[in-house]
Amino acid sequence: MQKTNQLTEEHKKQLLSLARETIKEYLATGRRKEFHTDDKTLIQKAGAFVTLKKMGELRGCIGYIVSDIPLHQTIIEAAISAATGDPRFPPMGTEELDQVTVEISVLSPPKVVTKTEEIEVGEHGLIITKGVNRGLLLPQVATEQGWDKTTFIQHTCLKAGLPLDAWEKGAKMEVFSAQVFGEED
């Protein structure tokens, strides 16, 4: 599976700081943070998700499976969306910022799989698509929930709004890996 350029600890710190500062500025002013870099790793085009947790519970998670903009810009967009645009939650207020931790997942390009044996729980994220329905779960979700492979696949089907067994009935399955890091690491 093709991977994105590996992030150093310094890259991870920069991206986590960028996500937090972006949310802080956007909540306070409604403006996007300006960030410029020539770093090859930070300007690569890669999908990424920003996950926000409040007291260990999900508070927002938005991202892009693939992206045609530089990684640092993808993080800016995903951070704002996770804080203000996740339809499962009301928009975050500035008073919540100190109660929230940031986690980032930088994704490899997705790869189609035809057999469940090709899916590695904890290593792969999963995308299931059928018609206009699509669901995605990040690799860490199965591990955090203690799911086996079948349960992981079924929950991805549910996220797509499909029956639990859609993966056995012609739904397309794709896997990806992710570099996952957060402020609590």
- Domains in the chain (CATH in brackets) are 9-107 (3.30.700.20), 111-178 (3.30.1490.150)
Residue type, 68: D
pLDDT of 2 higher than 60: no
**Which pLDDT tens digit goes with each residue over 78-123?**
999 999 999 999 999 999 999 999 999 999 999 999 999 999 999 9
CB 175 within 8 A of CB 2: no
Q: Average per-residue pLDDT in the chain? A: 93
Residue 3: per-residue pLDDT: 54
pLDDT of 4 higher than 90: no
pLDDT of 58 higher than 60: yes
Residue 7: per-residue pLDDT: 93
Q: Max CA-CA distance within the chain?
A: 48
pLDDT bin (cut points 50, 70, 90) of residue 5 is low
pLDDT of 136 higher than 60: yes
pLDDT bin (cut points 50, 70, 90) of residue 59 is very high
Alpha carbon of residue 19 to chain centroid:
13
pLDDT bin (cut points 50, 70, 90) of residue 184 is confident
Distances (CA, A) of 183 to 18, 19, 107, 134: 12, 11, 18, 29
Report the predicted TM-score, pTM, of the whole model to 2 decimal places.
0.89
Instruction: Report the distance separating Cα 88 and Cα 66, nearest Å.
Output: 22
Instruction: Identify which has the larger pLDDT, 51 or 184.
Output: 51
Residue 6: per-residue pLDDT: 84
159 secondary structure, DSSP code: H
